[in-house]
Structure 1
Amino acid sequence: MSTVTSAYNFVPINKEVCLPDWADYVSQDIPLQGALSGEIDLTITAKTPIFVRGKSTVSNPNAHQEYEFMKHNDQYCIPGSSIKGTIANVLEIISFGKLNRINDHRFSQRDWNNEKIYDKQSFAQKNKGGWLYFEGETYKIDYNTAQIGRIEHKEIDAYFKTNFVELFGENFDQKIPGENKSALRKYKLLKDRNLKVENKLVELRRRHRHEQQRYKIQPDITNGASGTIVFSGQSSERKEVREGVWKGKNKEFIFWEPNVKKKEVPKQVMKDFFFAYYEDDSKKRTTDWEHWRKVLANGERVPVFLQLDEKDNIKHFGLSMLYKLPFDQRVKELLKGTHHEKKQYDFVETLFGYSIEKESSKGRVSFQHAFAEGFVKECKPKTLVLGEPKASYYPFYIPQEFIRDDSTIIINGEYITYNDDVPLAGRKRYPIKKIDDSLGADESAFSTTFKPLPAGTTFKSKIVYHNLLPEELGALLCALTFNGVENCHHGIGMAKPYGYGAVAIDIMMYESVRNKAMMAFRTYMESWWIAEKLEGTWSESEQLQELIAMARFSHQSKKLTYMELTDFPQIIKEQKALPRFTQFLGIEPHNYSESYQKEINAFIEIEKERLAAIEEAERLKKEAEEKAKAEAAEAEKEANAAKERQENLAKGLFEWLPKTNDYGLIADKMDKWIDMRNEECITDTAEINYVLLNVTASRKKKPSRHRERFFNEKKTNDLIRWIGKEETEKFIQSFTNES
């Protein structure tokens, strides 16, 4: 059983982003109404040994690193930029700002413990063999659409007179890192021999139907297949675990002559490949990629395994059959909402300035260097591995659902990964903790040696602020003091994962100014919280609770350490993950002082009433506007109808009523005509005769046996409405003399 431990945790990402409505109007030169300017004196006290990186004393960047403590004018100091960055990170959390200072990587994985995201067998069967090269302005790949062939080590030995079976069998030491396990070692064993086999590859009988086709090289024929032998690394020895059952790699690959050429690699796919193979971090590059990148730079071709999408575009590729598979989602694709907003600014951007595309603004807060006070003696040198944890490790970096029982680390169901449309775990923080002096590392390319300054060292600094609204000054002060919560500490400098750099920051300024400003920011955030209709209060939000918990010294330091490399795959096998910090350590929610709660609750009650009144006023206003709009629309409709009526009356009945024998059409048109005449029947003799002519035609259309009953009560009433009673009686009477 593996134990979940972690030197870091996450403050959950805020779904809603607070964007101050005055952000567009801030300026260095134009005073804001009610704005404040001044200075804040700071005393920064190291509660654990602290190290801020200065000059490197090693010339080779790929070797073991040694650094001096930062100095300015020969004085130990913490740069103002370091203090600013530390405070900005806290301010971003407490002001519910944007999370936009993140890399947009597409992480890759080779997680064979999770078949949901990496099925080895099906993955290998989809691979094509190709050759990567650079031509013109782009990278291209020539490849063959057929399945990659396989050739066993014993067949290579038989043809090339090598000893692969022994070297990578019982004589293989998998504990030796680097070139020993690389494909490069195999290429060197073949030296300059031509690996392209012409017309001599012969198929072997498959041992099972899912097996990739195996081949042997038969020197005495000229009608066999042609292909190039391609090697990949050797992760373990080839050995017989029981009679007839072998474990470990004993086959290499055959790439066929390309039948698709000059297929352009999309720029983003190439970028993902470089990122997966640590092109920007020489210390993490594999032996093989170090070799192949030089081959590529020389204009030569590099063998790659690739897969295509449904449109036959290159989807991804790698240097081995089971290469690292990119996740579906990029990091920023999991960041939703206004975190990507570029035209509106949060508190951090508004106070500290920004440069976004062509827009920029200078900050109104300046942090001066913090210089160490008095005589300070450096501690003994310390050597540690200070590498960043891999954000591709989804059990920690993607929030999981946990089983609610005695354990808080077992997930409920399947893992959520970067393949799912989910939020990121949050903003990474290193919890404050005591240093374990027993921890250390040997000097290597991955370790760093430094001399920290001891706990108790004090630094003096100053913040100069200009033209800040009370809410903005309060935001700065709340970030410095973790919303005024006692016993909270910031982390500054290197080695924070090991507990170094925990500092207390004391503020020297008028208490009345400080309290008033902090209250202005708190009430602003509580008001914004209510307006956004969020649950609970801003002060007790999950974000502030997790931040405060990680800013206090924990007595559970063993849980706050890095796991061993062998533990990471085991954690996935055991379906474990990293919960929220408070859940992980069983920390109760922070309770504010009674005076704080009383003041905030009083404001919230008044604010809810105020916002409710505003909401009701806006509802009534909207209701009145909609009513006025409806009345105006109705008036316009009536006006248009009156205009249309006048236009139709002016054109006359002869244009309005077509000549027809369809009584239904006659009735419809005449009823509308009389409506337009305000129920006044027609009196013009010509118009009367025209109407009667149409009615007579409609009567004549009826069979003779039905004509006597044509003028029923409805039609008689219709005629009376159209031409009057006297004319109607005369008209109907005229038909009584029909024979």
Structure 2
Amino acid sequence: MPDMPENLIADLTTYARNRRAGPRTDDLKEDVLDHAYEVLGFDGDGDLLWTAVKARIEAERLPRRDEPELVPVAAPGKANSAPPWNPGTDAVLATAPFRFVPMNETVSRLPPDSLTPHDKPLPGHMSCILDVDWRVETPLLIGELDGDVVMPFRLGDDYAIPGATLRGAIRAVVEALAFGRLFQTNRHKRFALRDFEHPCYKAFVTQGQGKPGLQAGWLTLVDGEPHITPCKWGYVKIDSLPGNTDRWVTKDRHAKYRHVGSDWKGPGAFTKLRMFEFRGTEKDRNLYSEGRAGTPGHYVFSGKLPGGGGKKKLFEYVFFETSARPVPLADGVWETFVTTNSKPSQNKRVADGAWKEFEPSYKQGGRVPVFFVGDLARNAADETFSFGLTRLYRIPHRNSIGEILLRSGQDHRPAEKTSQKRGGKTEETLELRPDFVENLFGYVYEPKDLEFGHDKLTRAPDYTPPASVARKGRVAFEFARPASGARFRLWPENGPVETAMGAPKPAFAPFYLVGPEKDYSRDGARLAGRKRYIARYRAGQDTPSAPLKEALAGQISDGMSKDMKTRLRFLAPDPAGPPIFRGRIRCHNVSRAELGALLWALTFGGDRQARHLIGRGRPFGAGQIAAQAITLRIRPNLAPHDAAETVEWTEAHGRDRLAPWLEAFEHLMEETARGWKSSAQVQALLRAARPRGWAGQGTTYLPYQPAGGRQAEHFARLRKVCGPGAIRAPDRLLPP
């Protein structure tokens, strides 16, 4: 018998444990397989799957409905004990090509009204130009799509590194060094949850099985606001649908509605009525099929199941027409639904999954079928209320990223409450408090951003002047171009390398959170910190290209879809010339400490080992660069033009020649946080920047889909031993 994925068996066993199936084993089998195909997307042999699940059920002595329940469903917020952490086997699963600089509780905020002006030269400040020679050590790709291949960026006829790329890389280092505010995150994002062993999802499933249980309704726009109109619903056997339904699970949602001639998009969605007759009850399911008489309603179909559809899905749904009045949704309820069903974004949300299909109809005034649990009439006050687009929809975690961020310190809020007199009354307002980094590099906030982390004001501001939420920086990065005599070539020489470049997965709490229970629904969890990829190439010990190509190609596995693959062509140094890009940085009206912060970030405080990573392929060692030389020209404010000072620095100098400015920054930071230089933040930043090769333990991704699907099992294991009810799991999985 072929191996079945362990996480699938575990999910189905848990599902069976919490279902109220009929007393016969055949009923439980049908219910479990229905769930496997319909919800979990299984598309293999049902009999083999049931054999594996049944063996697990018997091993755990799972009770049937007529036997006492052995394993209770956990209440919201309470967790059954997880398997204990095993240092011998679990620690080796905690492997990734990135680390986190721990969060700083203290933020280097400026005193009120102390922003450095652009138009007033300050005594003791200066303007300067830095010409930086960037040495490229591993193949580099800041790319643009050319056909189906991502090719290196060009500026005219020359290859170039955009100034925005370098600015972003250096600002990220300064933010970590200078204890900046962590705000440019998807703080509104509330990750979704559909884990049948999670205590919150167990509570949701139990709620859906009780009275009134899982309910249905139509989501619509009424006077520009979201509403749900409740309606009754039932099941429709797919075998009872008109026409040939043999390949039903392979059809997408549009093909299914076309099959029965129903409109499901646009302002006229779900307006063509059909009659449905009651066909009896099976295992607590009220069954209906289309007929000449009965109750008016509409077919509601799920989307295409993943995989090839080895067994037919058994049921779809009918939503009945209703005369009920629409019920408005509270702002928080709607916000949670939208963020759960959208791609991460700070401002404009981008619909994802089924919501991507339904959102246009919703905005055009059409109806969208939804399921919900809880008290719709009291949805603003009912903490258990939620709704979604499928029967067993994903529910939101209790905490958003922003709510967890604030556990690292209230200084990460961009604004403070202040009071002012108006008309004889004291009213509250919000005042932005920029930090050291924002004062130097600039910032852009939306007026609503100022409210982050605060309760509602006694009076909302009528107008927020743009100048109070946005400011230009005093540091400008120009394009870096090949230095005189520099030579670069396309790599690999024989054509693009095919790889899989997945997006970061901050939803994976064991890596992205720290605390006794690393879970977005637990009160003790905190953000792991600022993400940094590990530098790889060690001059004199490693070859810069071969291990990178092997690492990139190693992301491809048998059965991976074409959509997951990407083809890349990098820029590699040519031995015929120096591997140097030269770029200019301009600074205006900066203090000695500010210039020191910039130099510290460029050179990592004179650390000769530390390196930067830019562009694509950073998890695998691509884009490793170093500041090889800096020509620094300084003109103090209020000084004669001929008073300019020039400093020539190379890597060989270390801290020498830059020490006055580095020390000014270090002194400032010691005043902000005593022991700054030896702090966990600075040391973690330097450790990640010091190359450690490609074969270091714990520095690579888990192999993608190895035999038996064990990658998914490993991730499931880490979630289990580090999540709710964790026993002896380390506070931080990835060492800083």
**Contact 2:227–2:326 (8 Å) recurs in 1:** yes
CA 6–23 in structure 1, closer or farther in 2 if over 3 Å, else same: farther
Report the equivalent of 2:627: 505
Q: Does 1:94 align with 2:177?
A: yes
Instruction: Report the CA distance between 1:270 and its aligned residue.
Output: 4.3
Residue 427 (structure 1) aligned to one of 521, 530, 535 = 530
> Following TM superposition, by how much is the alpha carbon of 1:521 offset from its aligned partner in structure 2, in angstroms?
1.3
Quickly say closer, same or farther: Cα 1:350–1:197, change in 2 above 3 A. Answer: same
Does the 8 Å CA contact 1:23/1:346 hold for their aligned counterparts? no
The residue that corresponds to 1:150 in the other structure is 235
What are the residue-to-residue correspondences of 1:181-580 with 2, within 5 Å?
Answer: 182-192=252-262, 198=275, 200-204=277-281, 207=283, 211=284, 213-217=285-289, 227-233=297-303, 235=305, 249-258=313-322, 260-266=324-330, 269-278=333-342, 288-289=354-355, 291-296=357-362, 299-308=365-374, 312-313=378-379, 315-336=385-406, 337-342=410-415, 343-356=432-445, 357=447, 358=466, 359=468, 360-373=470-483, 374-380=486-492, 381-401=496-516, 414-420=517-523, 422-434=525-537, 435-438=547-550, 439-440=552-553, 444-455=562-573, 457-508=579-630, 509=632, 510=647, 514-530=658-674, 537-555=675-693, 556-557=695-696, 559-563=698-702, 564=704, 567-568=711-712, 570-574=714-718, 575-576=720-721
1:320-375 CA-to-partner distances (Å, cap 9, x unmatched) read 11112122222212222111123222221121123445324332222222112323
Q: Which has the larger radius of gyration?
A: 1
Q: Is the 8 A contact 1:237 1:248 kept in 2?
A: no
Q: Is 1:184–1:291's contact at 8 Å kept on the other side of the alignment?
A: no
Structure 2 equivalent of residue 635 of structure 1? none
C-alpha RMSD of matched pairs (Å): 3.8
Bigger RCO of structures 1 and 2 (CA < 8 A, at least 6 apart): 2
Contact 1:182 1:288 in 2 (8 A): no
Distance, in Å, in 2 between the alignment partners of 1:460 and 1:140 is 57
Deviations along 1:687-706, one digit per CA (max 9) or x if unpaired, are xxxxxxxxxxxxxxxxxxxx
CA apart distance, 1:522: 1.2
Question: Match for 1:257: what amino acid?
Answer: E
TM-score calculated relative to the size of structure 1: 0.64
Given that 1:133 and 1:301 are in contact with CA atoms closer than 8 Å, whether structure 2 keeps it comes out as yes
Q: Deviations over 1:530-561 (max 9, x none)?
A: 3xxxxxx2112111122111112223457433
SS of the residue corresponding to residue 428 of structure 1 reads: strand
Consecutive unaligned residues of structure 1, counting only runs of 5 or more, are 59-64, 173-179, 241-246, 402-413, 531-536, 588-739
2:535 is aligned with what amino acid?
Answer: I
Aligned to 2:159: 76
Cα distance in 1 for residues equivalent to 2:672 and 2:361: 58
Deviation readout 1:471-522 (Å, 9 max, x if unpaired): 1111111111223322111111122122211111134243665101111111
- The offset of 1:586, in angstroms, is 6.8
Distance 1:238 1:463 in 2: 55
Which residue of structure 2 lines up, in the alignment, with residue 47 of structure 1?
137
The Cα offsets for residues 185-243 of structure 1, whole Å up to 9 and x where unpaired, read as 43343335999553621442x54xxx4x32244958x6x65543422246489999xxx
The alignment covers a number of residue pairs equal to 531
Q: Is the 8 A contact 1:110 1:322 kept in 2?
A: no
Cα distance in 1 between the residues matched to 2:290 and 2:168 = 67
- CA spacing shift, 1:580–1:35, aligned 2, 3 Å: farther
Q: What is the Cα deviation at residue 418 of structure 1?
A: 4.2
Deviation at 1:290, TM superposition (A): 5.2
Q: Over residues 236-270 of structure 1, what are the superposed CA-to-partner deviations in whole Å (9 max), with x where a residue is unaligned? A: 89999xxxxxx985222232333533223445544
Aligned counterparts of 2:302 and 2:734: Cα–Cα separation in 1:
44
CA separation of 1:492 and 1:296: change in aligned 2, threshold 3 A: same
- AA at the equivalent of 1:18: S
2:146 is equivalent to residue 57 of structure 1: yes
Percent identical residues: 26
The 3 A distance-change label for structure 1 pair 312 and 22 is closer
Q: Deviations over 1:405-424 (max 9, x none)?
A: xxxxxxxxx54324536322
Supply the distance in 1 between the matched residues of 2:326 and 2:290 (Cα, whole angstroms). 32
> What SS is found at the alignment partner of 2:570?
coil
Contact 1:433 1:557 in 2 (8 A): no
> Do 1:228 and 1:254's aligned partners in 2 also have CA atoms closer than 8 Å?
yes
| 1:13 equivalenced with 2:157 (yes/no) | no
Q: Are positions 1:34 and 2:150 aligned together?
A: no
Contact 2:343 2:352 in 1 (8 A): no
- Tell me how far apart the structure 1 counterparts of residues 572 and 592 of structure 2 sit (CA, whole Å): 37
Query: Is the 1:229–1:254 Cα contact (8 Å) retained in structure 2?
Result: yes
3-state SS, counterpart of residue 172 of structure 2: helix
Q: Conserved in 2, the CA contact under 8 Å of 1:394 and 1:417?
A: yes
CA distance in 1 between counterparts of 2:187 and 2:676 reads 29
Aligned to 1:130, the other structure's residue is in SS state: strand
Q: Distance in 2 between matches of 1:68 and 1:37?
A: 37
Per the TM alignment, residue 285 of structure 1 is displaced from its structure 2 partner at its CA by 7.5
Q: Quick one: structure 1 residues 82 and 582, their matched pair in 2 at CA, closer, same or farther if it must change by over 3 Å?
A: farther
Amino acid at match of 1:383: E
Q: How does 1:676-687 map to 2 (within 5 A)?
A: none
Higher helix share goes to which structure? 1
Q: TM-score, normalised by structure 2?
A: 0.64
Q: Is the 8 A contact 1:9 1:580 kept in 2?
A: no
How far apart in 2 are the matches of 1:295 and 1:25? 47
Confirm or deny: 8 A CA contact 2:110 2:436 kept in the other structure.
Answer: yes
Seen in structure 2, the aligned counterparts of structure 1 residues 544 and 248 have a Cα distance that, compared at 3 Å, is farther
Judging changes above 3 Å, is the alpha-carbon distance between structure 1 residues 443 and 78 closer, same or farther for their aligned structure 2 residues? farther
Query: Gaps spanning 5+ residues in structure 2: where?
Result: 1-88, 264-269, 416-431, 448-465, 538-546, 633-646, 650-655
How big is the shift at 1:104? 2.6
Distance 1:238 1:363 in 2: 53
User: Per-residue deviation at 1:49?
Assistant: 0.5
**Range with greater deviation from structure 2 (493-502 or 22-31):** 22-31
Residues 135-192 of structure 1: per-residue CA shift (max 9 Å, x gap): 4423332222x6x4334334xx2xx44454x546xxx6xxxxxxx2644443343335
Change (3 A) 1:341 1:77: same
Residues 599 and 662, structure 2, Cα contact 8 Å, conserved in 1: yes
Cα deviation per residue 1:8-34 (whole Å; 9 max; x = unaligned)? Answer: 332121111112449714123323332
In structure 1, C-alpha distance between the alignment counterparts of 2:629 and 2:374, rounded to whole Å: 60
